[in-house]
Amino acid sequence: MAGAASLRGAALTLAGAALWGFSGASSQYVLAQGADPTFVTAMRMLCAGALFLAFLAVRRRDVLARVFADRRTVGRFAVFGFGLLGSQITFAISIAYTNAGTATVLQMTGSVFIMLFVCLRARTAPRTGEALGLAAALAATYLIATQGDFGALRLPVEGVLWGVANGLAVALYVVYPKESGLFERFGGLATTGLGMAVGAVYATIVWLVRAIISLAAGDGAEALRIVAPPLDASGWAVLAIGVGVVGTFVAYALYLSGVARVGSVAGGLLGAVEPLAATSLSAVWLGTAFSGADWAGFALMLAMIALVTIKGPKARTDAAGKGADQAG
């Protein structure tokens, strides 16, 4: 029975991570049709947040009651929601400048930031494997950015910076709920769901403010594009289903359910399917071309995940595993 439960957990984890990759490719598809990253982020979080709230209202009403009964807990979710917004919007902007595969790989630097945070907090130096993982992540980022021509930057510098910023944002949103006790009190699914709903409010404000700024600057056409992008029927369908419902709500639900069975360390390793899925879909579905340098960089990032999550003290491997497995 234990073996069957572990196998089911692994399958759920893999499915969730693969759907995250599908979300990245879907975001690339929608952005290519002229959608603004703030619009994509707001729609993603509004859709997933509403579904999570509906799920909690039906299945976990006790969680909602406990959260709203304590002002400090409400405040912590307000902070967590802002962190989730940061991770989602930097990811969308990174895709806009690069592509889904590259953005997802750069997002994996979040595991390195988490490892460094844990080391600083514990006042200990990185283990040999962690140090090698850090070196692998730096080498991967440099290789992808330069495409093997180490005298020039081949990717837009904005894409690289937003990708690394996304990794940092992921690290912050992963560390905070663990440090604040939200995961321990409410569980991963409920915490993520409520955080997504709160983040949706922030994302909507950012989206509308961006449109208002464009309108105030006299660029009515740009304001209209931000509020109502010129998507065709397939674009709206991919946004709703690929980005919102399947790529976020279903992906998180499957993944967190799987991690509850296999543990965060195994979840972090299985979560490495996300960049593979995003890259494969981006290449096959969207026709994105990847070079040998790209694939070498992707391989180095996968090596980094293994190095920072295997054979370490539980507290450190748990944190690194969560960084890899909750990027989304």
Sign of CA dihedral 208, 242, 35, 166: positive
5 in any annotated domain:
no
Query: What is the reported pTM?
Result: 0.89
Query: Does residue 3 lie within any of the structural domains?
Result: no
Per-residue 3-state assignment (H helix, E strand, C coil) for 7-74? HHHHHHHHHHHHHHHHHHHHHHHHHHCCCCHHHHHHHHHHHHHHHHHHHHHHHCHHHHHHHHCCHHHH
Measured CA to CA in angstroms, residue 154 lies from 143, 194, 260, 288 at distances of 10, 39, 40, 15
Rounded Cα distance between 318 and 264, Å, is 6
CA atoms within 13 A on the CB side of 152: 4
- What are the residue ranges in the chain where pLDDT is below 70? 1-5, 264-265, 309-328
Query: What was the pLDDT predicted at 246?
Result: 96
Residue 8 burial (10 A CB sphere; 0-12, 13-18, 19+): middle
| DSSP letters for 165-228 | HHHHHHHHHHHHHHHTTHHHHH-HHHHHHHHHHHHHHHHHHHHHHHHHHHHHTT-HHHHHHHHS
Q: How far apart are CA 169 and CA 327, in angstroms?
A: 9
The domain total for the chain is 1
Instruction: Confirm whether 9 is domain-assigned.
Output: no
- Inside any domain, residue 215: yes
End-to-end CA distance of the chain: 30
Q: What pLDDT does 324 receive? A: 45
Q: What's the rounded Cα separation, in Å, for the pair 19 and 62?
A: 29
Residue 19: predicted pLDDT: 95
Residue 8: inside a domain, yes or no? Answer: no
CB 15 within 8 A of CB 271: no
Structure tokens at 143: 């290789």
Residue 234 lies in a domain: yes
For residue 306, what are the domain limits?
A: 16-325
Q: What is the pLDDT of residue 203?
A: 98
Is residue 137 in a domain? yes
Residue 1 in domain? no
Contact 104, 328 (CB under 8 A): no
Q: Can you give the pLDDT at residue 326?
A: 53
